Amino acid sequence: MVAFTGAGISEESGIPTYRDTNGLWTKYDPSKYASIDYFLQDPSYYWHFFREVRYPLLFESAQPNPGHLALADLERTGKLRCVITQNIDGLHQEAGSTRVIELHGNTRIIRCLECSKEFTAEKVYEMTETRIPPLCTDCGGLLKPAVVFFGEQLPQDAVHDAYAEAEACDLFLVVGSSLVVYPAAHIPVRAKECGARLVIINKEPTVMDTLADAVLNAKAGTTLPQIIATPAPQRNTPKT
């Protein structure tokens, strides 16, 4: 099995998703704070968002929930090869998953666009108390979170690994993703093309439900542990 996760799996850890009714995108304009073109034109918009949403603090206090832990258990028992995630919160790693392919980077790291010096999000949060946008303490360059913004390429190693896993797996399990963000959303399509069964667990319907072999409209944190706890059906049991 290969799992593919989105913001929905971290919702029960208290991290808001983008597209739910209470999602971040209802308050902030993604074409501004999540776009590389806009960021380079006016970086302060992103950093005001960063301060107001308190991103580093939100992530620091968030704990993996039973959904993350269930995927880590599946890896430990040898049933799950890896987690491909669109998330940028690092919660799969905290839950114990060792093979995590991050397609969109990780927001806990902030990098200087000039000299590549790295800062923790907590440190940069402190810096934004006195200056927005924050600047590199070594070279004065612009700082940017190590996440993929709209208009930027996905990390090629991660994309390569994700496709290789999708093409080779028997079962591709999508958890908590609206499946509308491309190019990541093409990966489940590729898995299906290559013969995998596609299972989607999401609180609400997704645009790929018709492609799936099974769809569960349910919360990840309650459903995943239940699925794991359910014994697999016995095959070839002789009838009495």
- In terms of DSSP H, where are the helices of the chain? 30-33, 36-41, 43-53, 55-61, 66-76, 91-95, 121-127, 156-168, 186-193, 220-229
Nearer to ligand NAD, 97 or 202 (CB): 202
What is the spatial distance between Cα 21 and Cα 11, in angstroms, rounded to a whole number?
12
Nearer to ligand NAD, 41 or 217 (CB): 217
CA distance linking residue 182 with residue 190, whole number of Å: 13
Q: Show the binding pattern over residues 198-227: x = contacts ligand NAD (CB under 6 A), - = does not.
A: ----xxx--------------xxx------
If the CB atoms of residues 196 and 220 are measured against ligand NAD, the closer one turns out to be 220
State the CB neighbour count (10 A cutoff) for residue 132: 15
Establish if 20 lies at the interface with ligand NAD (CB under 6 A).
yes
Contact yes or no for 222/197 (Cβ under 8 A): no
Point out the catalytic residue in the list 92, 104, 160, 186: 104
Any contact of residue 68 with ligand NAD (CB under 6 A)?
no
Catalytic status, residue 104: yes
- Minimum Å gap between C-beta 12 and ligand NAD is 5
- Length of the chain measured in residues: 240
Structure tokens at 114: 């000039």
Of 13-21, 109-117, 132-140, 230-238: span binding ligand NAD (CB under 6 A): 13-21
Which active-site residues does the annotation give?
104
Q: Which residues bind ligand NAD (CB under 6 A)?
A: 6-8, 10-12, 15, 17-20, 23, 86-89, 104, 176-178, 181, 202-204, 219-221
